Structure 1
Amino acid sequence: MKPMDILIVDDDRDLADAIGEALEMEGHRPTIAYSGTEAIEKYCGRSFDLTFMDVKLPDINGVETFMTIREMDSSARVIMMTGYRIEQLLAQATDNGAIKVLRKPFAMEEILTSIDEVQPSGLVLVADDDPDFAESTEHMLAEHGYDVLVARDGAEAIEKVISSSPDILVLDLRMPVMHGLDVYLELKKRNLLLPIIIVTAYAREEGDAVDALKSLAVTGCLFKPFEPEALLQAIDDIERERERDAKK
Protein backbone atom coordinates (compact mmCIF):
# COMPACT_ATOMS: atom_id res chain seq x y z
CA MET A 1 0.00 0.00 0.00
CA LYS A 2 1.37 3.39 -1.02
CA PRO A 3 1.92 5.81 1.91
CA MET A 4 -0.51 8.72 1.74
CA ASP A 5 -0.53 12.29 3.07
CA ILE A 6 -3.73 12.37 5.12
CA LEU A 7 -5.39 15.32 6.85
CA ILE A 8 -7.51 14.58 9.93
CA VAL A 9 -9.94 17.34 10.93
CA ASP A 10 -11.72 16.88 14.28
CA ASP A 11 -12.09 19.00 17.41
CA ASP A 12 -12.10 15.80 19.50
CA ARG A 13 -8.37 15.87 20.15
CA ASP A 14 -8.23 12.37 21.61
CA LEU A 15 -9.94 10.86 18.56
CA ALA A 16 -7.90 12.93 16.08
CA ASP A 17 -4.64 11.97 17.78
CA ALA A 18 -5.68 8.29 17.93
CA ILE A 19 -6.47 8.26 14.21
CA GLY A 20 -3.14 9.97 13.51
CA GLU A 21 -1.24 7.36 15.52
CA ALA A 22 -3.06 4.50 13.79
CA LEU A 23 -2.25 5.94 10.37
CA GLU A 24 1.41 6.43 11.28
CA MET A 25 1.59 2.77 12.29
CA GLU A 26 0.32 1.88 8.81
CA GLY A 27 3.08 3.96 7.21
CA HIS A 28 0.99 7.00 6.28
CA ARG A 29 1.85 10.67 6.93
CA PRO A 30 -0.99 12.20 8.98
CA THR A 31 -1.52 15.90 9.65
CA ILE A 32 -4.06 17.00 12.26
CA ALA A 33 -6.29 20.08 12.35
CA TYR A 34 -8.65 20.73 15.26
CA SER A 35 -10.92 23.22 13.49
CA GLY A 36 -12.22 24.09 10.04
CA THR A 37 -10.11 27.24 9.88
CA GLU A 38 -6.97 25.28 10.75
CA ALA A 39 -7.82 22.68 8.09
CA ILE A 40 -8.12 25.37 5.42
CA GLU A 41 -4.80 26.86 6.55
CA LYS A 42 -3.17 23.42 6.29
CA TYR A 43 -4.42 23.15 2.71
CA CYS A 44 -2.86 26.47 1.70
CA GLY A 45 0.27 25.77 -0.29
CA ARG A 46 -0.07 21.98 -0.26
CA SER A 47 -2.49 19.16 -0.93
CA PHE A 48 -3.41 15.86 0.69
CA ASP A 49 -4.21 12.47 -0.79
CA LEU A 50 -7.19 12.10 1.55
CA THR A 51 -8.97 14.06 4.30
CA PHE A 52 -11.10 12.74 7.16
CA MET A 53 -13.43 15.62 8.10
CA ASP A 54 -15.68 15.84 11.16
CA VAL A 55 -18.99 17.57 10.43
CA LYS A 56 -19.42 19.34 13.79
CA LEU A 57 -16.48 21.70 14.23
CA PRO A 58 -16.22 24.67 16.62
CA ASP A 59 -15.90 27.42 14.01
CA ILE A 60 -16.79 26.48 10.42
CA ASN A 61 -18.77 23.26 10.07
CA GLY A 62 -17.15 20.39 8.23
CA VAL A 63 -19.29 20.70 5.11
CA GLU A 64 -18.45 24.40 4.68
CA THR A 65 -14.79 23.56 5.30
CA PHE A 66 -15.00 20.80 2.69
CA MET A 67 -16.59 23.17 0.15
CA THR A 68 -13.82 25.74 0.72
CA ILE A 69 -11.14 23.08 0.30
CA ARG A 70 -12.84 21.89 -2.90
CA GLU A 71 -12.57 25.45 -4.26
CA MET A 72 -8.84 25.35 -3.52
CA ASP A 73 -8.35 21.81 -4.84
CA SER A 74 -11.09 20.42 -7.08
CA SER A 75 -9.63 16.91 -6.83
CA ALA A 76 -9.63 16.82 -3.01
CA ARG A 77 -10.79 13.45 -1.63
CA VAL A 78 -12.77 13.86 1.60
CA ILE A 79 -14.52 11.39 3.89
CA MET A 80 -16.98 12.96 6.33
CA MET A 81 -17.18 11.79 9.96
CA THR A 82 -20.08 12.49 12.30
CA GLY A 83 -21.71 11.33 15.49
CA TYR A 84 -24.89 13.23 14.63
CA ARG A 85 -27.71 12.73 12.16
CA ILE A 86 -27.41 15.85 10.04
CA GLU A 87 -28.79 14.45 6.82
CA GLN A 88 -29.15 17.74 4.94
CA LEU A 89 -25.54 18.73 5.58
CA LEU A 90 -24.29 15.25 4.74
CA ALA A 91 -26.32 15.20 1.52
CA GLN A 92 -24.79 18.55 0.56
CA ALA A 93 -21.32 17.14 1.13
CA THR A 94 -21.87 13.94 -0.86
CA ASP A 95 -23.62 15.85 -3.67
CA ASN A 96 -20.47 17.94 -4.00
CA GLY A 97 -18.05 15.05 -4.10
CA ALA A 98 -17.47 13.79 -0.57
CA ILE A 99 -16.53 10.13 -0.95
CA LYS A 100 -18.45 8.61 1.96
CA VAL A 101 -19.70 9.20 5.51
CA LEU A 102 -18.37 7.44 8.61
CA ARG A 103 -20.77 7.38 11.56
CA LYS A 104 -19.24 7.77 15.01
CA PRO A 105 -18.41 5.75 16.96
CA PHE A 106 -16.54 3.75 14.35
CA ALA A 107 -13.83 1.12 14.63
CA MET A 108 -10.33 2.20 13.61
CA GLU A 109 -10.50 -0.58 11.02
CA GLU A 110 -13.16 1.45 9.18
CA ILE A 111 -10.63 4.27 8.76
CA LEU A 112 -8.05 1.88 7.30
CA THR A 113 -10.63 0.26 5.03
CA SER A 114 -11.68 3.69 3.76
CA ILE A 115 -8.06 4.46 2.86
CA ASP A 116 -7.78 1.20 0.93
CA GLU A 117 -10.96 2.09 -0.97
CA VAL A 118 -9.58 5.41 -2.25
CA GLN A 119 -6.08 4.22 -3.09
CA PRO A 120 -5.54 4.90 -6.80
CA SER A 121 -5.79 1.66 -8.70
CA GLY A 122 -5.69 0.47 -12.25
CA LEU A 123 -3.34 0.43 -15.20
CA VAL A 124 -2.97 3.57 -17.33
CA LEU A 125 -1.57 3.35 -20.86
CA VAL A 126 0.05 6.59 -22.07
CA ALA A 127 0.34 6.64 -25.87
CA ASP A 128 2.47 9.60 -26.99
CA ASP A 129 5.55 9.90 -29.22
CA ASP A 130 6.87 12.91 -27.26
CA PRO A 131 9.40 11.22 -24.91
CA ASP A 132 9.49 14.14 -22.47
CA PHE A 133 5.71 14.25 -22.12
CA ALA A 134 5.43 10.46 -21.88
CA GLU A 135 8.18 10.22 -19.25
CA SER A 136 6.89 13.07 -17.09
CA THR A 137 3.32 11.74 -17.27
CA GLU A 138 4.47 8.23 -16.38
CA HIS A 139 6.41 9.58 -13.38
CA MET A 140 3.52 11.75 -12.17
CA LEU A 141 0.94 8.95 -12.37
CA ALA A 142 3.29 6.46 -10.70
CA GLU A 143 3.82 8.93 -7.84
CA HIS A 144 0.05 8.99 -7.35
CA GLY A 145 -0.19 5.22 -7.13
CA TYR A 146 -1.08 4.21 -10.68
CA ASP A 147 0.61 1.49 -12.72
CA VAL A 148 1.68 2.95 -16.05
CA LEU A 149 2.61 1.63 -19.50
CA VAL A 150 3.94 3.79 -22.34
CA ALA A 151 3.44 3.35 -26.09
CA ARG A 152 5.44 5.46 -28.57
CA ASP A 153 3.13 5.13 -31.57
CA GLY A 154 -0.42 4.17 -32.47
CA ALA A 155 0.34 0.59 -33.47
CA GLU A 156 2.18 -0.04 -30.20
CA ALA A 157 -0.78 1.44 -28.31
CA ILE A 158 -3.12 -1.12 -29.88
CA GLU A 159 -0.68 -3.95 -29.12
CA LYS A 160 -0.48 -2.92 -25.45
CA VAL A 161 -4.25 -2.61 -25.13
CA ILE A 162 -4.53 -6.18 -26.45
CA SER A 163 -1.69 -7.61 -24.34
CA SER A 164 -2.14 -5.70 -21.07
CA SER A 165 -5.84 -4.68 -20.89
CA PRO A 166 -5.26 -1.21 -19.37
CA ASP A 167 -8.09 0.49 -17.49
CA ILE A 168 -7.54 3.93 -19.04
CA LEU A 169 -5.85 5.11 -22.25
CA VAL A 170 -4.22 8.56 -22.48
CA LEU A 171 -4.00 8.97 -26.25
CA ASP A 172 -2.11 11.59 -28.26
CA LEU A 173 -3.64 12.37 -31.65
CA ARG A 174 -0.51 13.07 -33.69
CA MET A 175 1.65 9.95 -33.55
CA PRO A 176 3.72 8.02 -36.08
CA VAL A 177 2.39 4.85 -37.72
CA MET A 178 -1.24 5.49 -36.74
CA HIS A 179 -3.19 8.67 -35.96
CA GLY A 180 -5.04 8.72 -32.63
CA LEU A 181 -8.43 8.68 -34.36
CA ASP A 182 -7.40 5.55 -36.28
CA VAL A 183 -6.29 3.96 -33.00
CA TYR A 184 -9.72 4.62 -31.53
CA LEU A 185 -11.52 3.23 -34.58
CA GLU A 186 -9.33 0.10 -34.60
CA LEU A 187 -10.00 -0.51 -30.90
CA LYS A 188 -13.71 -0.04 -31.52
CA LYS A 189 -13.60 -2.51 -34.43
CA ARG A 190 -11.90 -5.07 -32.17
CA ASN A 191 -14.43 -4.41 -29.39
CA LEU A 192 -11.61 -3.22 -27.12
CA LEU A 193 -12.95 0.20 -26.14
CA LEU A 194 -11.98 1.60 -22.76
CA PRO A 195 -12.06 5.07 -21.15
CA ILE A 196 -9.89 7.31 -23.35
CA ILE A 197 -8.48 10.75 -22.58
CA ILE A 198 -7.32 12.53 -25.73
CA VAL A 199 -4.31 14.86 -25.46
CA THR A 200 -3.17 17.09 -28.30
CA ALA A 201 -1.05 20.17 -28.91
CA TYR A 202 -2.86 20.84 -32.18
CA ALA A 203 -6.30 21.99 -31.10
CA ARG A 204 -6.91 24.02 -34.25
CA GLU A 205 -5.33 21.67 -36.80
CA GLU A 206 -6.91 18.59 -35.25
CA GLY A 207 -10.32 20.18 -34.69
CA ASP A 208 -12.16 17.75 -36.98
CA ALA A 209 -10.56 14.72 -35.32
CA VAL A 210 -11.30 16.07 -31.85
CA ASP A 211 -14.94 16.70 -32.79
CA ALA A 212 -15.22 13.22 -34.28
CA LEU A 213 -13.81 11.61 -31.16
CA LYS A 214 -16.07 13.66 -28.88
CA SER A 215 -19.07 12.52 -30.91
CA LEU A 216 -17.88 8.94 -30.43
CA ALA A 217 -18.09 9.34 -26.64
CA VAL A 218 -14.39 9.63 -25.86
CA THR A 219 -14.13 10.30 -22.13
CA GLY A 220 -12.25 13.61 -22.25
CA CYS A 221 -9.92 15.87 -24.20
CA LEU A 222 -6.98 17.95 -22.91
CA PHE A 223 -5.14 20.51 -25.01
CA LYS A 224 -1.38 20.76 -24.49
CA PRO A 225 0.14 22.39 -22.61
CA PHE A 226 -2.02 21.58 -19.59
CA GLU A 227 -1.41 21.40 -15.85
CA PRO A 228 -0.60 17.88 -14.55
CA GLU A 229 -3.51 18.20 -12.13
CA ALA A 230 -5.90 18.36 -15.09
CA LEU A 231 -4.90 14.87 -16.22
CA LEU A 232 -5.04 13.54 -12.67
CA GLN A 233 -8.51 15.03 -12.29
CA ALA A 234 -9.69 13.42 -15.53
CA ILE A 235 -8.38 10.00 -14.45
CA ASP A 236 -9.81 10.47 -10.96
CA ASP A 237 -13.22 11.30 -12.45
CA ILE A 238 -13.13 8.06 -14.46
CA GLU A 239 -12.21 6.06 -11.34
CA ARG A 240 -15.03 7.64 -9.33
CA GLU A 241 -17.54 6.98 -12.11
CA ARG A 242 -16.40 3.36 -12.19
CA GLU A 243 -16.82 3.10 -8.40
CA ARG A 244 -20.34 4.56 -8.62
CA ASP A 245 -21.27 2.11 -11.39
CA ALA A 246 -19.94 -0.79 -9.32
CA LYS A 247 -22.22 0.17 -6.42
CA LYS A 248 -25.38 0.25 -8.56
Structure 2
Amino acid sequence: MNLIPKRRVLIADDEPGMRTTLADILADSGYDVRTAQDGQDAITKCQNEDYDVVLMDVRMPVVDGISAFREIRRSSQHVRVILMSAYGEDEMKHAALQDGAIAFLDKPLNLDTVIQLVADSTELAVMAITADQTLLQTLPQCLHSSGQKLTVVHNRDEAVTLLRQVSFDVALIDVELGTNDGLACYLALREISPTITAVMISRSDQPVRRIAEEAVRRTAYTIVPKPIEPERLAEVMQTLRAQRVSGAIRKPHLGEPHDS
Protein backbone atom coordinates (compact mmCIF):
# COMPACT_ATOMS: atom_id res chain seq x y z
CA MET A 1 0.00 0.00 0.00
CA ASN A 2 1.31 3.48 -0.93
CA LEU A 3 1.06 5.63 2.17
CA ILE A 4 2.85 8.64 0.65
CA PRO A 5 0.30 11.45 0.20
CA LYS A 6 -0.19 12.83 -3.30
CA ARG A 7 1.02 16.34 -3.94
CA ARG A 8 -1.92 18.72 -4.00
CA VAL A 9 -2.36 21.11 -6.92
CA LEU A 10 -4.86 23.94 -7.34
CA ILE A 11 -5.64 25.23 -10.84
CA ALA A 12 -7.18 28.73 -10.93
CA ASP A 13 -8.46 29.83 -14.33
CA ASP A 14 -11.74 31.42 -15.44
CA GLU A 15 -11.71 29.37 -18.68
CA PRO A 16 -13.45 26.02 -17.98
CA GLY A 17 -11.64 24.30 -20.84
CA MET A 18 -8.22 25.26 -19.49
CA ARG A 19 -9.12 24.18 -15.97
CA THR A 20 -10.36 20.80 -17.17
CA THR A 21 -7.44 20.14 -19.49
CA LEU A 22 -4.78 20.93 -16.90
CA ALA A 23 -6.67 19.07 -14.17
CA ASP A 24 -6.96 15.93 -16.30
CA ILE A 25 -3.29 15.98 -17.30
CA LEU A 26 -2.04 16.47 -13.76
CA ALA A 27 -4.49 13.97 -12.27
CA ASP A 28 -3.25 11.38 -14.80
CA SER A 29 0.28 12.17 -13.58
CA GLY A 30 -0.73 11.22 -10.04
CA TYR A 31 -1.54 14.57 -8.43
CA ASP A 32 -4.49 15.42 -6.21
CA VAL A 33 -6.02 18.27 -8.22
CA ARG A 34 -8.64 20.90 -7.34
CA THR A 35 -9.82 23.86 -9.42
CA ALA A 36 -10.89 27.47 -8.80
CA GLN A 37 -12.85 29.68 -11.20
CA ASP A 38 -11.39 33.04 -10.16
CA GLY A 39 -8.87 34.67 -7.84
CA GLN A 40 -11.17 34.93 -4.85
CA ASP A 41 -12.12 31.26 -5.19
CA ALA A 42 -8.40 30.40 -5.20
CA ILE A 43 -7.75 32.49 -2.08
CA THR A 44 -10.64 30.84 -0.24
CA LYS A 45 -9.55 27.33 -1.19
CA CYS A 46 -5.97 28.03 -0.06
CA GLN A 47 -7.28 29.34 3.27
CA ASN A 48 -9.29 26.17 3.82
CA GLU A 49 -6.86 23.56 2.47
CA ASP A 50 -3.13 23.10 2.02
CA TYR A 51 -1.72 23.00 -1.51
CA ASP A 52 1.79 22.31 -2.74
CA VAL A 53 1.40 24.09 -6.08
CA VAL A 54 -1.03 26.68 -7.46
CA LEU A 55 -1.34 27.25 -11.21
CA MET A 56 -2.87 30.72 -11.52
CA ASP A 57 -4.14 32.61 -14.56
CA VAL A 58 -3.37 36.32 -14.35
CA ARG A 59 -6.52 37.81 -15.89
CA MET A 60 -9.56 36.58 -13.95
CA PRO A 61 -12.76 38.20 -12.68
CA VAL A 62 -13.52 39.14 -9.06
CA VAL A 63 -9.86 39.07 -7.98
CA ASP A 64 -7.07 38.98 -10.58
CA GLY A 65 -4.34 36.37 -10.45
CA ILE A 66 -1.55 38.71 -9.31
CA SER A 67 -3.58 39.99 -6.35
CA ALA A 68 -4.64 36.44 -5.47
CA PHE A 69 -1.03 35.23 -5.70
CA ARG A 70 0.17 37.90 -3.28
CA GLU A 71 -2.67 37.21 -0.85
CA ILE A 72 -1.96 33.47 -0.91
CA ARG A 73 1.77 34.03 -0.41
CA ARG A 74 1.10 36.15 2.70
CA SER A 75 -0.50 33.22 4.50
CA SER A 76 1.17 30.25 2.77
CA GLN A 77 4.85 30.91 2.08
CA HIS A 78 5.49 27.27 1.20
CA VAL A 79 3.08 27.23 -1.77
CA ARG A 80 4.77 27.19 -5.19
CA VAL A 81 2.77 29.57 -7.39
CA ILE A 82 3.03 29.38 -11.18
CA LEU A 83 1.40 32.28 -13.01
CA MET A 84 0.01 32.03 -16.56
CA SER A 85 -0.99 34.68 -19.08
CA ALA A 86 -1.98 34.90 -22.73
CA TYR A 87 -0.77 38.50 -22.88
CA GLY A 88 2.72 39.98 -23.11
CA GLU A 89 3.09 41.56 -19.67
CA ASP A 90 6.81 41.91 -19.09
CA GLU A 91 6.73 44.36 -16.19
CA MET A 92 4.11 42.30 -14.39
CA LYS A 93 6.17 39.18 -15.06
CA HIS A 94 9.33 40.68 -13.57
CA ALA A 95 7.48 41.96 -10.50
CA ALA A 96 5.78 38.62 -9.85
CA LEU A 97 9.05 36.71 -10.13
CA GLN A 98 10.71 39.11 -7.73
CA ASP A 99 7.80 38.58 -5.32
CA GLY A 100 8.36 34.83 -5.25
CA ALA A 101 6.39 33.28 -8.10
CA ILE A 102 8.11 30.12 -9.29
CA ALA A 103 7.44 30.93 -12.93
CA PHE A 104 5.37 33.16 -15.20
CA LEU A 105 4.38 31.13 -18.25
CA ASP A 106 3.04 32.44 -21.53
CA LYS A 107 -0.09 30.90 -23.03
CA PRO A 108 -0.47 28.72 -24.99
CA LEU A 109 1.30 26.63 -22.38
CA ASN A 110 4.10 24.19 -23.01
CA LEU A 111 2.65 21.25 -21.10
CA ASP A 112 6.04 19.59 -20.63
CA THR A 113 7.23 22.73 -18.85
CA VAL A 114 4.12 22.77 -16.66
CA ILE A 115 4.58 19.13 -15.66
CA GLN A 116 8.27 19.72 -14.95
CA LEU A 117 7.53 22.71 -12.76
CA VAL A 118 4.80 20.96 -10.80
CA ALA A 119 7.13 18.00 -10.27
CA ASP A 120 9.66 20.41 -8.76
CA SER A 121 12.36 19.10 -11.06
CA THR A 122 13.62 22.49 -12.20
CA GLU A 123 16.79 22.66 -10.12
CA LEU A 124 19.64 24.57 -11.67
CA ALA A 125 22.95 23.04 -12.65
CA VAL A 126 25.43 25.26 -10.80
CA MET A 127 29.20 25.51 -11.12
CA ALA A 128 31.06 27.25 -8.31
CA ILE A 129 34.58 28.52 -8.98
CA THR A 130 36.47 29.22 -5.77
CA ALA A 131 39.48 28.19 -3.70
CA ASP A 132 38.13 29.89 -0.57
CA GLN A 133 37.89 27.23 2.15
CA THR A 134 34.94 28.93 3.83
CA LEU A 135 32.99 29.03 0.58
CA LEU A 136 33.93 25.43 -0.16
CA GLN A 137 32.23 24.44 3.09
CA THR A 138 29.27 26.84 2.87
CA LEU A 139 28.10 26.59 -0.75
CA PRO A 140 27.25 22.86 -0.80
CA GLN A 141 25.12 23.26 2.32
CA CYS A 142 23.34 26.33 0.91
CA LEU A 143 22.57 24.89 -2.51
CA HIS A 144 21.89 21.24 -1.80
CA SER A 145 19.25 22.20 0.75
CA SER A 146 17.41 24.19 -1.95
CA GLY A 147 17.62 21.43 -4.54
CA GLN A 148 20.38 22.82 -6.76
CA LYS A 149 22.95 20.56 -8.42
CA LEU A 150 26.41 21.88 -7.47
CA THR A 151 29.80 21.18 -8.99
CA VAL A 152 32.87 22.88 -7.51
CA VAL A 153 36.10 23.72 -9.33
CA HIS A 154 38.99 25.76 -7.97
CA ASN A 155 40.21 28.01 -10.78
CA ARG A 156 39.48 29.38 -14.23
CA ASP A 157 41.31 26.62 -16.12
CA GLU A 158 39.31 23.88 -14.38
CA ALA A 159 36.09 25.79 -15.04
CA VAL A 160 36.85 26.27 -18.73
CA THR A 161 37.77 22.62 -19.19
CA LEU A 162 34.60 21.42 -17.48
CA LEU A 163 32.29 23.84 -19.29
CA ARG A 164 33.55 22.55 -22.62
CA GLN A 165 32.21 19.12 -21.64
CA VAL A 166 29.19 19.80 -19.42
CA SER A 167 26.41 22.39 -19.66
CA PHE A 168 25.72 24.58 -16.61
CA ASP A 169 22.94 27.09 -15.99
CA VAL A 170 24.73 29.23 -13.40
CA ALA A 171 28.31 30.01 -12.46
CA LEU A 172 29.04 31.26 -8.94
CA ILE A 173 32.37 33.01 -9.37
CA ASP A 174 34.58 34.04 -6.48
CA VAL A 175 36.16 37.33 -7.53
CA GLU A 176 39.40 36.46 -5.70
CA LEU A 177 40.90 33.71 -7.85
CA GLY A 178 44.55 34.67 -7.59
CA THR A 179 46.15 35.78 -10.85
CA ASN A 180 43.10 34.57 -12.76
CA ASP A 181 40.67 36.99 -11.14
CA GLY A 182 36.92 36.55 -11.26
CA LEU A 183 36.38 38.98 -14.13
CA ALA A 184 38.75 37.08 -16.41
CA CYS A 185 37.08 33.83 -15.37
CA TYR A 186 33.63 35.22 -16.13
CA LEU A 187 34.66 36.47 -19.58
CA ALA A 188 36.24 33.11 -20.42
CA LEU A 189 33.10 31.20 -19.39
CA ARG A 190 30.81 33.58 -21.29
CA GLU A 191 32.84 33.04 -24.45
CA ILE A 192 32.30 29.28 -24.21
CA SER A 193 28.67 29.42 -23.04
CA PRO A 194 26.92 32.75 -23.79
CA THR A 195 23.75 31.60 -22.01
CA ILE A 196 25.40 30.85 -18.66
CA THR A 197 24.32 33.19 -15.86
CA ALA A 198 27.13 34.45 -13.63
CA VAL A 199 26.74 35.44 -9.98
CA MET A 200 29.82 37.17 -8.61
CA ILE A 201 30.86 36.54 -4.99
CA SER A 202 32.87 39.41 -3.55
CA ARG A 203 34.13 41.10 -0.43
CA SER A 204 32.86 44.65 -0.03
CA ASP A 205 36.25 46.37 0.09
CA GLN A 206 37.86 47.93 -2.95
CA PRO A 207 39.37 47.05 -5.39
CA VAL A 208 37.77 43.58 -5.09
CA ARG A 209 34.29 45.07 -5.30
CA ARG A 210 35.21 47.03 -8.43
CA ILE A 211 36.10 43.78 -10.22
CA ALA A 212 32.67 42.34 -9.37
CA GLU A 213 30.93 45.54 -10.50
CA GLU A 214 32.77 45.46 -13.81
CA ALA A 215 31.57 41.87 -14.37
CA VAL A 216 27.98 42.98 -13.71
CA ARG A 217 28.45 45.88 -16.12
CA ARG A 218 29.42 43.27 -18.71
CA THR A 219 26.18 41.31 -18.15
CA ALA A 220 26.96 39.17 -15.09
CA TYR A 221 23.70 38.80 -13.13
CA THR A 222 24.47 40.24 -9.69
CA ILE A 223 26.86 40.29 -6.73
CA VAL A 224 26.47 38.25 -3.54
CA PRO A 225 28.66 39.63 -0.75
CA LYS A 226 31.04 37.73 1.48
CA PRO A 227 30.55 36.34 4.03
CA ILE A 228 27.77 34.36 2.34
CA GLU A 229 24.38 34.51 4.02
CA PRO A 230 22.53 31.29 3.11
CA GLU A 231 19.11 32.96 3.05
CA ARG A 232 20.30 35.67 0.67
CA LEU A 233 21.93 33.20 -1.69
CA ALA A 234 18.80 31.04 -1.62
CA GLU A 235 16.69 34.09 -2.54
CA VAL A 236 18.94 34.94 -5.47
CA MET A 237 18.87 31.36 -6.75
CA GLN A 238 15.09 31.06 -6.39
CA THR A 239 14.50 34.27 -8.34
CA LEU A 240 17.04 33.31 -10.96
CA ARG A 241 15.53 29.85 -11.40
CA ALA A 242 12.08 31.35 -11.91
CA GLN A 243 13.39 33.93 -14.36
CA ARG A 244 15.25 31.34 -16.43
CA VAL A 245 12.21 29.07 -16.65
CA SER A 246 10.02 31.98 -17.67
CA GLY A 247 12.53 33.40 -20.13
CA ALA A 248 12.54 36.71 -18.28
CA ILE A 249 16.04 37.29 -16.94
CA ARG A 250 16.27 40.74 -15.37
CA LYS A 251 19.35 41.70 -13.41
CA PRO A 252 18.65 43.35 -10.05
CA HIS A 253 20.13 46.82 -9.83
CA LEU A 254 23.14 47.05 -7.55
CA GLY A 255 21.77 48.12 -4.22
CA GLU A 256 18.59 46.03 -4.47
CA PRO A 257 18.04 43.34 -1.78
CA HIS A 258 20.07 40.74 -3.65
CA ASP A 259 23.11 42.98 -3.45
CA SER A 260 22.77 45.03 -0.29
So what's the TM-score if we normalise by structure 1? 0.62
Answer whether contact 1:195 1:238 (CA < 8 A) is retained: no
Kindly indicate whether the alpha-carbon contact (under 8 Å) linking 2:198 and 2:221 is maintained by their aligned counterparts in 1: yes
Contact in 1 for aligned 2:57/2:83 (Cα 8 Å): yes
Quote the RMSD (CA, aligned, Å): 4.4
C-alpha separation between the residues in 1 aligned to 2:126 and 2:176? 19
Query: Deviation digits for residues 58-110 of structure 1, max 9, x if unmatched?
Result: x324454356568998x943124xxxxxxxxx6475651242235xxxxxxx6
Comparing both structures, which one devotes a greater share of its residues to helix? 1
Kindly, what percent of the aligned residue pairs are identical? 14
**Partner of residue 12 from structure 2, selected from 9, 13, 37:** 9
1:153, distance to aligned residue in structure 2 (A): 1.3
Quickly say closer, same or farther: Cα 1:220–1:71, change in 2 above 3 A. farther
Partner Cα separation in structure 2 for residue 29 and residue 172 of structure 1: 43
Aligned partner of 1:51 in structure 2 is 55
> Are the equivalent residues in 2 in contact too, given 1:153–1:176 (CA < 8 A)?
no
1:77 and 2:82 are equivalent in the alignment: yes
Give CA-to-partner distance per residue, 1:19-43, whole Å, 9 cap, x none.
Answer: 4454133134545445423534638
Q: Structure 2: state its 5+ residue gaps.
A: 1-5, 94-103, 250-260
Cα deviation code 1:5-29 (max 9, x no counterpart): 6431247899857744541331345
CA contact (8 A) 2:224 2:233 kept: no
Pair 1:238–1:210, CA change in 2 (3 A): same
Change (3 A) 1:169 1:33: same
Q: How does 1:213-232 map to 2 (within 5 A)?
A: 213-223=215-225, 224-225=228-229, 226-232=232-238
C-alpha separation in 2, matches of 1:242 and 1:94:
8
Query: Which has the higher relative contact order, 1 or 2, with Cα contacts under 8 A spaced 6 or more apart?
Result: 2
CA contact (8 A) 2:173 2:198 kept: yes
Alignment of 1:83-102 (within 5 A): 91=87, 95-97=91-93, 98-101=104-107
Alignment coverage as a number of residue pairs: 217
Match of 2:68 among 58, 65, 68: 65
- Unaligned ranges ≥5, structure 1: 81-89, 103-109, 244-248
TM-score (norm 2): 0.60
Q: Quick check: 1:154–1:177 contact (8 Å CA) kept in 2? A: no
